[in-house]
Amino acid sequence: MDNRLITLLTRGESLTRAEYRVLAHLTEHPLLVGNITVRELAQATFVSTATIMRLCQKLGFSGFSEFIWHCKQLLSDTPHITAQRNDLPELPALFSQFIANYQQTFQWVTQAKRQQFADLLRQKESFFLYGAGFSYLFAEYLTKKLQVLGKTAFISGPGDSRNIFLSNAARYQVFIAVSRSGETEQVLDKARIAKNVGMTVVAFTRASANTLAGMADLHFALYDEAVHYAAEAAGVTSFESNLVLLMDLLLLEATG
């Protein structure tokens, strides 16, 4: 983008999207100024010539010729083209630690486990997801993703009656539980019911030994740098970002 024309963009508060697109096109391609007709500019930006004329008037010019003349005057100043930086931006100190945590998690996500999840996604049509606290947000995220893929996916949490799950469990083929600790009693209760009615149980938990992991047919362990889940549940760690990355990776591999 040529910074000599950037002042034009600052005058575009009242412009429509189409008008702003014309203006942005010229700032991105300053060599066109004086070398393009109003009709050619309209074709290049997918607007009408009338749209360009309205743009010129909104910017305070009598017409296209005066507008172009003004652009030429701006471009006659010392050029200053925004340079593309090749160097990486300065990264936070914790960035490398988060990357190391991601790598640790994905060492545990074996190809066999990823394939097992992909097979479930391809062969099963109905999924019941459950999460409590912060985990509910991520269970809901996965639910929406499954729905976009055309699957029947239902989300539930501690705020819902236990009878909701009891009444609907037989209709679903896969139970997916998200629980950082793997010890939340409401989650364990639903996982037991799911096992009893023949649902496949998939669990996402922290990597330390926990009850839910032992109950699951397919368990995804995630690295968690928090020393004690109960004391640090509200702390910011890489666990949640690990979780989203893992979910997206599994879905991408299963549908790719």
175 phi/psi in degrees, rounded to 5 = -110, 120
Beta bridge partners of 58: none
Print pLDDT tens along the chain (256 aa). Answer: 556 776 776 665 678 888 888 888 888 888 888 888 999 999 988 889 999 999 888 888 888 998 888 888 888 765 544 445 555 567 787 888 888 888 989 899 999 999 999 999 999 999 999 999 889 999 999 999 999 999 999 999 888 888 888 888 888 999 999 999 999 999 999 999 999 999 999 999 999 899 999 999 999 999 987 755 554 455 678 889 999 999 999 999 998 7
Answer whether 0.85 is exceeded by the pTM.
Answer: no
199 phi/psi in degrees, rounded to 5 = -75, 150
What domains are defined for the chain?
A: 3-75 (1.10.10.10), 95-255 (3.40.50.10490)
125, burial (CB in 10 Å: exposed 0-12, middle 13-18, buried 19+): middle
How does 53-64 read in b/e, with b if 16+ C-beta sit within 10 Å? bbbbebbebeeb
Range 9-14, long-range pairs (CB < 8 A, 24+ positions): 11/59, 14/58
